[in-house]
């Protein structure tokens, strides 16, 4: 036993040593301090130790993974763009005043995978044909926090983009001349905006192709500028486009939301269909809250608040607009709750889902259902108790394969016993096994094979069974 204890102690020490090594190995990598972008030569974590001026384009090649902490410093320069990423790039700013300042057309072109967690990008005044960040086709961009200021596009997306936070500001307008105006945030592929602040003059956020979702944020164009256009613009200039707006605040001196573009031979592009569904949000426009173009725009409103009459665009007769507040509400005729195919039905340990459907407009509501919990049976003895060891009773769930066990107390024999008449007469001491004393070898074998063997005990008064010499 002592040897076993020493072995367990040694194993514990070894496990602790392994754990300590694991903690050391998994600790965050210490970044390499750099004073020039050319010092980024391999995958790793880097941190600016000083402001950097550059006249060349810094490229992160395919296969390289770089984390760059601006650390409150400024990267400035660039003939066209300052950075190009073909690999994996994460941009942080641990101090909060980090800046990428481009004297060219734009800041960053992303061809790979890029995540931005802080910092700012500014583009010199009068620079057009570029973007604060240009997300290229097949590239993935996630923005958690950033501030971008530019005279042209703050963000141009041709790939897949998710915006979770940040500010995007553009002063572009048609005063800059033909071809030199831009919406602040422009999508031409797939974009999800969970939260953002977007301001512009020519426009706030636009999707001219592909798919866009907006969940929250503030989107506006300058109310005091006569060249301002729409806070949100959904038009199939380059292909079919679909928009789903769940929330946010949209304001403009024109229409807050404009769906489609019927102009031919001009800014309407190829005049592809534009479909928008609004589930929530606040829309305030001087000309009107929202407007779908006759030929290319399709609008269905299921919720939100609007400063103009939008009853013509309500998704179905279930929806109504309050004439005083402009809020849209629904009075659905829902059927019974039924299971959905989104998940399997609820199990003992997992939630399920169910839905009910409006019989008028087919709108659906989906909710989770509680896990059922286990349905235990009465249990059966899987290990009988003995004088030396506890037994085990096992319970099984009727709905799944789960089992649980509980202990059965040891048998306690502390009195002398004798067998009934006709059986061999025996007596037991407190340390003797009852079955060994009472059962024959054949009966023991039968019991081990599952035969139900019972022992009847009769406890007699010691005065009748204990000899006088023992009593003395």
Stronger pLDDT, 439 or 397, i.e. the higher one:
397
Q: How far apart are CA 92 and CA 287, in angstroms?
A: 41
| Residue 340's pLDDT band (cuts 50, 70, 90) | confident
* Residue appearing with tokens 């030929």: 295
Other Cβ atoms within 10 Å of 373 Cβ, number: 12
The closest alpha carbon to 51, from 30, 81, 72, 33, belongs to 72
Residue 449 has pLDDT above 70, yes or no: no
Is there a contact between 136 and 116 (Cβ–Cβ < 8 Å)? no
Stronger pLDDT, 16 or 463, i.e. the higher one:
463
Q: How far apart are CA 15 and CA 304, in angstroms?
A: 58
Residue 343 has pLDDT above 80, yes or no: no
Q: Return the SS3 of 21.
A: helix
pLDDT at residue 285, rounded to an integer: 98
Task: Summarize the confidence of residues 171-175 as an average pLDDT.
Answer: 88
Mean pLDDT of the chain: 86
pLDDT at residue 55, rounded to an integer: 87
Other Cβ atoms within 10 Å of 409 Cβ, number: 8
pLDDT at residue 20, rounded to an integer: 36
Q: How far apart are CA 374 and CA 307, in angstroms?
A: 53
Residue 25 has pLDDT above 80, yes or no: no
pLDDT at residue 128, rounded to an integer: 76
pTM greater than the 0.85 cutoff? no
Task: Summarize the confidence of residues 394-419 as an average pLDDT.
Answer: 80
pLDDT at residue 22, rounded to an integer: 39
| Residue 427's pLDDT band (cuts 50, 70, 90) | low
Residue 62 has pLDDT above 70, yes or no: yes
Answer left, alpha or beta for residue 421, where phi above 0 means left and psi between -120 and 50 means alpha.
beta
Residue 210 has pLDDT above 70, yes or no: yes
What percentage of the chain carries pLDDT values higher than 90?
67
pLDDT at residue 275, rounded to an integer: 98
Stronger pLDDT, 247 or 268, i.e. the higher one:
247
pLDDT at residue 21, rounded to an integer: 39
| Residue 26's pLDDT band (cuts 50, 70, 90) | very low
pLDDT at residue 423, rounded to an integer: 57
Residue 108 has pLDDT above 80, yes or no: yes
Residue 170 has pLDDT above 90, yes or no: yes
Residue 443 has pLDDT above 80, yes or no: no
pLDDT at residue 244, rounded to an integer: 98
pLDDT at residue 361, rounded to an integer: 87
Residue 117 has pLDDT above 50, yes or no: yes
In the beta sheet, which residues pair with residue 171? none
Q: How far apart are CA 394 and CA 405, in angstroms?
A: 4
Task: Summarize the confidence of residues 174-192 as an average pLDDT.
Answer: 88
Residue 242 has pLDDT above 70, yes or no: yes
pLDDT at residue 464, rounded to an integer: 59
Question: At residue 212, what are phi and psi to the nearest 5 degrees?
Answer: -145, 140
Q: How far apart are CA 340 and CA 64, in angstroms?
A: 44
Q: What is the DSSP letter of 418?
A: B
């Amino acid at each position: 036993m002592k040897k076993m204890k020493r072995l367990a102690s040694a194993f514990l020490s070894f496990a602790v040593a392994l754990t300590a090594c694991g903690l050391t190995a998994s600790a965050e990598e210490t970044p390499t301090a750099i004073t020039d972008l050319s010092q980024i030569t391999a995958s790793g974590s880097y941190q600016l130790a000083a402001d950097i001026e550059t006249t060349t384009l810094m490229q992160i090649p395919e296969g390289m993974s770089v984390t760059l902490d601006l650390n409150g410093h400024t990267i400035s320069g660039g003939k066209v763009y300052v950075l190009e990423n073909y690999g994996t790039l994460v941009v942080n700013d641990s101090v909060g005043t980090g800046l990428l300042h481009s004297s060219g057309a734009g800041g960053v072109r992303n061809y790979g995978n890029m995540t931005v967690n802080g910092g700012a990008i500014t583009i010199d005044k009068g620079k057009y044909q570029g973007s604060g960040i240009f997300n290229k086709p097949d590239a993935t961009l996630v923005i958690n926090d950033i501030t971008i200021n530019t005279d042209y596009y703050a963000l141009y997306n041709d790939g897949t983009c998710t915006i979770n936070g940040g500010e995007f500001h553009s002063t572009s307008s048609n005063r800059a001349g033909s071809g030199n105006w831009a919406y602040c945030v422009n999508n031409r592929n797939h974009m999800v905006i969970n939260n953002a602040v977007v301001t512009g003059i020519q426009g706030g956020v636009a999707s001219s192709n592909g798919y866009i979702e907006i969940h929250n944020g503030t989107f506006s164009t300058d109310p005091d500028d006569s060249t301002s256009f729409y806070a949100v613009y959904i038009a199939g200039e380059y292909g079919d486009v679909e928009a789903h707006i769940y929330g946010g605040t949209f304001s403009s001196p024109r229409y807050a939301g404009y769906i489609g573009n019927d102009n031919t031979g001009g800014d309407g592009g190829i005049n592809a269909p534009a479909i928008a569904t609004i589930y929530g949000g606040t829309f305030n426009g001087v000309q009107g809250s929202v407007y779908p173009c006759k030929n290319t725009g399709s609008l269905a409103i299921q919720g939100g608040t609007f400063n103009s009459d939008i009853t013509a665009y309500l998704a179905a007769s279930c929806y109504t607009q309050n004439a005083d507040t402009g809020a849209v509400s629904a009075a659905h005729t829902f059927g019974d709750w039924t299971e959905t195919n989104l998940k399997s039905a609820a199990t003992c340990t997992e939630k399920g889902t169910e839905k009910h459907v409006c019989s008028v407009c087919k709108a659906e509501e989906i909710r989770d259902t509680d896990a059922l919990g286990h349905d235990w049976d009465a249990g059966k003895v899987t290990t009988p108790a003995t004088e030396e060891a506890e037994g085990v009773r096992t319970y099984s769930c009727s709905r799944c394969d789960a089992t649980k066990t509980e202990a059965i107390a040891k048998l306690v024999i502390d009195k002398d016993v004798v067998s009934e008449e006709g059986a061999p007469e025996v007596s037991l001491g407190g340390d003797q096994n009852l079955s060994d004393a009472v059962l024959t070898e054949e009966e023991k074998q039968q019991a081990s094979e599952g035969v139900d063997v019972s022992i009847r005990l009769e406890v007699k008064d010691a005065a009748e069974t204990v000899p006088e010499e023992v009593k003395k």
